[in-house]
Amino acid sequence: MRSAVHTGAATAALMAGVALAAGCAADDGGGGDGGASDAPSQEQGAGQGPSPESAAEGGMDGVWESTVDDSDYTTLTVLGEDVRTDGDAACSGTLDPADSGPAATIELDCPDTESRSGSAELNAEGDHLIVNWDGTDGFPEAFARTDEEPVIEG
């Protein structure tokens, strides 16, 4: 009985060591993904996400591609307070950032369709813009950030 207890304790210790080593080895790739040092600290504003007006820090400025297959909008371009959509509904509009946090209101003026508005919010990583269009029964539309530079003419 005594050796079974010692063997069980030794096995548990060995398994804990293997799990710990596996976790460290997964971070040895140099990519920096998932390491404890990558986690935001309280000083960095953990959980707040980027602000809409800070384009240099991953704000809303950019060209965003819809992740919805049958969306009216192929892309959503944001540059400051100006917005443009391309796709089945090509619209121009404005972005009104919230007083604080990573949210804003989008107002679109679409010449061939009904004008549309919605609330937009950046995810914590700043790589997806989630838009809740008014009148869509609460189904949000996600847009993924592209590498394109935003340009809005006229």
Instruction: With cut-offs at 50, 70 and 90, classify the pLDDT of residue 101.
Output: confident
Neighbours of 39 (CB within 10 A): 9
d(C-alpha 19, C-alpha 22), whole Å: 5
Pick from 145, 139, 151, 149: nearest CA to 122: 145
Range 54-66 average pLDDT = 74
Average pLDDT, the chain: 72
Give the type of residue at 51: S
Selected residue with higher pLDDT from 20 and 126? 126
The percent of residues in the chain predicted with pLDDT above 70, rounded, is 61
Question: Which tokens hold the place of 78?
Answer: 């944001």
Residue 80 has pLDDT above 70, yes or no: yes
Q: 82 with 97: CB under 8 angstroms?
A: no
- 3-state SS, residue 79: strand
Residue 50 has pLDDT above 90, yes or no: no
Q: What pLDDT, on the 0 to 100 scale, is given for residue 138? A: 65
d(C-alpha 107, C-alpha 15), whole Å: 56
Residue 32 has pLDDT above 70, yes or no: no
Q: Is the pTM of this model over 0.75?
A: no
Selected residue with higher pLDDT from 54 and 10? 54
Residue 142 has pLDDT above 90, yes or no: yes
